[in-house]
Amino acid sequence: KEFVEYKNELLHKNVSECPEIPPDLGPLDIRLLYNTNLLTILSQNPNLRPGGRSRPQYCRALQKIAIIIPFRNRESHLRTWLYYMHPFLQQQQADYGVYVVEQIEDTMFNRGKLMNVGYSIASKDYDYSCFIFSDVDIIPMDGRNLYRCSKNPRHMANSVDKFNFKLPYNDIFGGIVAFTKEHFKKLNGFSNVFWGWGGEDDELFQRVVAVGLKVDRPDQTIARSKMISHKRDSGNESTGKSFALISKAHKRLHKDGLSSLNYIISITSHKLYTKVTVDIGNGE
């Protein structure tokens, strides 16, 4: 088996590069089906490899992409995401893996820290060059919305139905963001200290600016996405501390983030994704 894998690897190195813009992409009919089950999704994606990995068969992708999803108690959203996104990413000829990072204990949710854990685990798994940090409840409506990294950090949730396909404020950086490995390391990842809802994405924006980078956004017509509507999760209330934290963002940049990450994990390779189960503490 190892020999076959080795041979495949060698053969894959010799195939030509994939085109920058994959063929046959266009608008998609997204109806947000909630009743899909994992077996159906699996049967519709026969070429997936364990851990929710795939790469194009007949060309070599220009980027290796890890998709990191922060997660707790959103099983049906995850199924919907997997149902739409595996075919979407394969149609885009992506070399990718999906990492679902689940906070197990019922302390306050910490989206930023889960993203950092996902980055750190995915980096050890494969030579990813691009990291896309995505909420579990946003589904793109057009195949031309390329899930890729660009020259600058990229805010990809800039055209969501919930906000009438507009930006609710100029510097919004929530929902889905894409970073090259180099850039994510340069800004020391997300802050780990935002427990509960709100602000960790705004702080990330401050970090981008502080290290001298700019934010790109895709064309708003092509980036149109649907968000699954839901109630506010318990355990993810706003603590009211975010604005005070953000006002000191630059002070914490180098000491709070990838450089100060501590956690306890277990990793399970599911057929449709890699599940990273993590105990990230409770902020004390």
- Note the residues at the interface with ligand NGS (CB under 6 A): 174, 198-199, 201-202, 242-243
User: Using CB distances below 5 to 8 A depending on partner kind, what does residue 68 bind out of ligand NGS, ligand UDH, none?
Assistant: none
Neighbours of 124 (CB within 10 A): 9
Known catalytic residue: 227?
Answer: yes
Task: Compare residues 56 and 283 and give the one whose CB is closer to ligand UDH.
Answer: 283
Per-position x/- string for 95-134, each x denoting binding to ligand UDH as judged by CB under 6 A, each - no binding: --------------x-x-----------------------
Q: Which does 257 bind (CB under 5 to 8 A by kind): ligand UDH, ligand NGS, none?
A: none
197 catalytic per annotation: yes
Q: Rule CB under 6 A: which of 43-72 touch ligand UDH?
A: 69-72
Please tell me what DSSP assigns to residue 278.
E
The count of other CB atoms within 10 Å of the CB of residue 279 is 13
Rounded alpha-carbon distances, angstroms, from residue 150 to 24, 57, 199, 214? 21, 23, 24, 11
Tokens of 33: 């089906």
197 part of the interface to ligand UDH, by CB under 6 A: yes
User: Are 188 and 253 in contact, with CB atoms under 8 Å apart?
Assistant: yes
Residues 6+ apart with CB under 8 A from 222: 142, 144, 145
Q: Residue 233 gets which letter from DSSP?
A: P
The item of ligand UDH, ligand NGS, none sharing an interface with residue 135, based on CB under 5 to 8 Å by kind, is: ligand UDH
Closer Cβ to ligand NGS, 95 or 203, answer by number? 203
CB distance 160 to 229 below 8 Å: no
Complex with ligand UDH: residue 22 or 97, whichever CB lies closer: 97
- What tokens does 252 get? 């914490």
- Bridge partners for 133 per DSSP: 68, 177
The catalytic residue among 171, 230, 254, 279 is: 230
**In this structure, what DSSP letter does residue 40 have?**
H
Catalytic residues: 135, 137, 197, 200-201, 227, 230, 232
Binding site for ligand UDH (CB under 6 A): 69-74, 109, 111, 135-137, 197, 231-233, 235-236
